[in-house]
Amino acid sequence: MTANIINGKEIAKDVRREVKEAVEERVATGKSVPGLATVLVGSDPASGMYVKMKQRACNKAGINAFHIDLPADTSQEELEAKVAELNADENVHGILVQLPLPDGLDEERVLQAIDVNKDVDGFHPLNIGRLAQKGRTPVFMPATPAGCIELLKRTGVELEGANAVVLGRSNIVGMPVALMLVEHNATVTICHSRTKDLKGLIQTADVLVCAVGRPEMVKGDWIKPGAVVIDVATVKVDAPELEKGYKWVGDVAFDEAMEVASAITPVPGGVGPMTIAILLQNTLKAAQLAD
Ligand code: NAP
């Protein structure tokens, strides 16, 4: 068997086009231009790059991008005051505080300060809490996990009754994606660093979502024949055979998995592009909520 590649780049492009069209349509009927405010505290280069990518994507989709740069020594009170200001700004429909925050700032308090109807990152405790409760709907879902689900849906993967295994239980990927899979009526096993018989559990998965960050830890013979594999991890590893000297890999040994799975996301070009696409979708939704 050779697996189909789930092309996250193309699917993300479709989502971004849909958002752009919906933005154009609403603006043409006199409604507000959706606005996303990004807040960056400190000067971490990776965080700075992510924020720039998000701003660029907003511009392309016709969404207003507002950016607030704060110094690394910003106090908790100053940061929360900025969030309060953005909560009150009617041109700002979505607020994204780039994580991680510098040491000394209380991430949970900051996330809690964001208006739940502007929480386009989906990390407000109320949104996550609703995700964990049957029959409750969060206003927003976190972008990367929602991106995984969107990839599965748009590939036509049947989740109802499927055995799903999620590798990783972080707040930003593993746990929310597991909750979303439950919401889609999959039977979900969550694995983490203390799990015994990881291989045996993974072998039961019709749908496998990996979010650990350990290069190629999941081998081909861990995968159930015909399984669908979503690899969230993105890890830079040395590749002396390449001119640039490095490459990006996921948690899954891709070439081996290609021989066993029915469909798999590549790294890069799988889940990665979906995160920003879903963020744009969430920002559009935030503007619609404010209409
Ligand atoms: P994280 O917070 O470090 O969480 C890693 C999880 O993996 C933890 O739950 C940990 O278990 C588990 N784990 C660690 N070693 C393990 C092992 N040997 N066996 C089984 N489980 C193990 O990471 P994260 O933030 O969720 O990110 C995971 C990966 O996804 C990273 O490569 C990251 O770069 C990538 N990522 C990609 C995107 C995107 O594409 N847009 C977004 C976010 C993250 P414990 O809980 O027991 O410690």
What digits encode the pLDDT tens for the residues 253-281? 999 999 999 999 999 999 999 999 999 99
250/148 Cα distance (integer angstroms) = 14
Quick check: CB of 203 below 6 Å from ligand 1? Answer: no
Residue 223 has what pLDDT?
Answer: 98
Q: Which helix (H) or strand (E) holds 81?
A: helix 76-88
Do 32-115 and 143-272 fold alike per CATH?
yes
Ordered DSSP codes for 211-265: -S--TT-B-GGGSPTT-EEEE---EEEE-TTSTTSEEEE-SB-HHHHHTT-SEE-
- pLDDT confidence of residue 228: 98
Q: From CA 71, how far away is CA 111, in angstroms rounded?
A: 18
pLDDT band at 3 (very low <50, low <70, confident <90, very high): very high
Q: Can you tell me the mean pLDDT for 85-110? A: 97
pLDDT digits (tens, 9 = 90+) for 181-201: 999 999 999 999 999 999 999
Kindly report, residue by residue over 135-159, the tens digit of the pLDDT. 999 999 999 999 999 999 999 999 9
CA of 173 to the centre of ligand 1 (A): 8
State residue 133 phi and psi, 5-degree precision: -110, 135
Contact 126, 70 (CB under 8 A): no
What letter would DSSP give residue 31? P
Per-residue model confidence (pLDDT) at position 1 = 76
Model-level pTM? 0.97
Average pLDDT score over the chain: 97
Mutate to test the pocket of ligand 1, among 9, 173, 231 (most ligand atoms within 8 A of CB): 173
Contact 237, 246 (CB under 8 A): yes
Q: In this structure, which amino acid lies at residue 40?
A: L
Among all residues, which ones are annotated catalytic? 54, 98, 121
Q: How far apart are CA 106 and CA 115, in angstroms?
A: 17
Answer yes or no: CATH 3.90.1570.10 is held by domain 32-115.
no
Residue spans of the domains in the chain: they are 32-115, 143-272
Q: Could you tell me which CATH number the domain at 143-272 has?
A: 3.40.50.720
Q: How far is the CA of 27 from the centre of ligand 1 (A)?
A: 39
C-alpha 212 to ligand 1 mean position (Å): 3
Each residue's pLDDT tens digit, 102-117:
999 999 999 999 999 9
Give residue 174's pLDDT: 98
Q: Give the closest residue to 171 by CA, choosing from 103, 202, 125.
A: 125
- Is the pLDDT at 286 greater than 80? The verdict is yes
What CA–CA distance (Å, rounded) separates 258 from 152? 17
